[in-house]
Homo-oligomer: A and B are copies of this chain.
Amino acid sequence: DFLHALHEIVPAFGASTDDLERCRLNGIVDCGERHKHIYQRAMLLVEQVKVSKGSPLLTCLLEGPAGSGKTAMAATVGIDSDFPYVKIISAETMIGLSESSKNAQIVKVFEDAYKSQLSIIILDDIERLLEYVAIGPRFSNLISQTLMVLLKRLPPKGKNLMVIGTTSEVGFLESLGICDAFSVTYHVPKLHKEDAKKVLKHLDVFTDYDIDSAAEALDDMPIKKLYMLVEMAAQGSTGGSAEAIYSGKEKINLNHFFDILGDVVSLRV
């Protein structure tokens, strides 16, 4: 299955998977059917790009709410491909650069990829690459134009490239016309309570008695936020109980967990 598949494939020589591993700090656990399905389809595209003649360029967008697992998913596909060139383009390494420097860096990664026979490029948080802000509307049209051209420009003969984009502002990307520039788009959802329960079980920090109430309260929560909430609650109401809980000696107090949840979710209501 999905997680199993992950471990079967050894990353090809040459691909630096260090950066990619940092993208999934909490590992990859089974968190529901939808995540699994998307992973499988993305891996099919990986296969297609290997053999294709008519489509030397395949592009795929992962969109979904903040923290739903898009970056970890893209990184996993990159790691699980056996491609010699896998590279993530992220705003984190370009803070404070001028628009044109950012643009040049992005183009550079594509030019490099064109030299490898099989490549994957991850465009992480495209809205951040575009310097998107909700009001305005302001954004880098320079980079927007570049992406639209790069997502259509064929690699040189004999080279094949897959591009995976991620975004939590799919509406914005649609309004720019960038969504349509991708061949396929997958929606990475928040967790349903059953999914949340799977993850909680794996973490094993609640008593069997509490786990259903906890999962229920986490319905419609992004997986990344779930991890943070659990860690905050593990601290205990007076601090210091984290070690005991993660070592399995204690369990999280459900009331404290709800308190923390309340702070995070509805404080300003």
Docked-complex contact B25 and A231, CB < 8 angstroms: no
Bound-state CA distance A54–B25 (Å) is 7
A146 at the interface (CB under 8 A from B): yes
Query: Which residues of chain A (123-139) have a CB below 8 Å from chain B?
Result: 128, 131, 133-138
Chain B residue at minimal CB-CB distance from A45? B232
Report how many residues on chain A are interfacial, defined by Cβ distance under 8 Å: 66
Which residue of B135, B146, B232 is within 8 Å of A95 (Cβ)? B146
A112 at the interface (CB under 8 A from B): no
Docked-complex contact B135 and A176, CB < 8 angstroms: yes
Docked-complex contact A128 and B148, CB < 8 angstroms: yes
Bound-state CA distance A225–B89 (Å) is 27
Chain B contacts of A170 at CB under 8 A? 268
Interface string of A170-187 (1 = CB under 8 A from B): 100001110010011111
Which residue of B51, B133, B177, B235 is within 8 Å of A44 (Cβ)? B235
A26 at the interface (CB under 8 A from B): yes
Docked-complex contact A47 and B150, CB < 8 angstroms: no
Query: Which residues of chain A (232-268) have a CB below 8 Å from chain B?
Result: 232, 235, 237, 239-240, 242-243, 263-264, 267-268
15 examples of A-B residue contacts, CB within 8 angstroms: A25-B54, A45-B232, A48-B242, A52-B242, A54-B227, A63-B268, A95-B146, A96-B100, A96-B107, A133-B176, A134-B177, A136-B141, A170-B268, A184-B267, A187-B267
6 closest cross-chain pairs (CB), A and B: A47-B239, A92-B153, A48-B235, A131-B145, A135-B175, A91-B149
Chain A residues near B (Cβ < 8 Å): 22, 25-26, 41, 43-45, 47-48, 51-52, 54-55, 63, 66, 91-92, 95-96, 100, 103-104, 107, 128, 131, 133-138, 141-142, 144-146, 148-150, 152-154, 170, 175-177, 180, 183-187, 227-228, 231-232, 235, 237, 239-240, 242-243, 263-264, 267-268
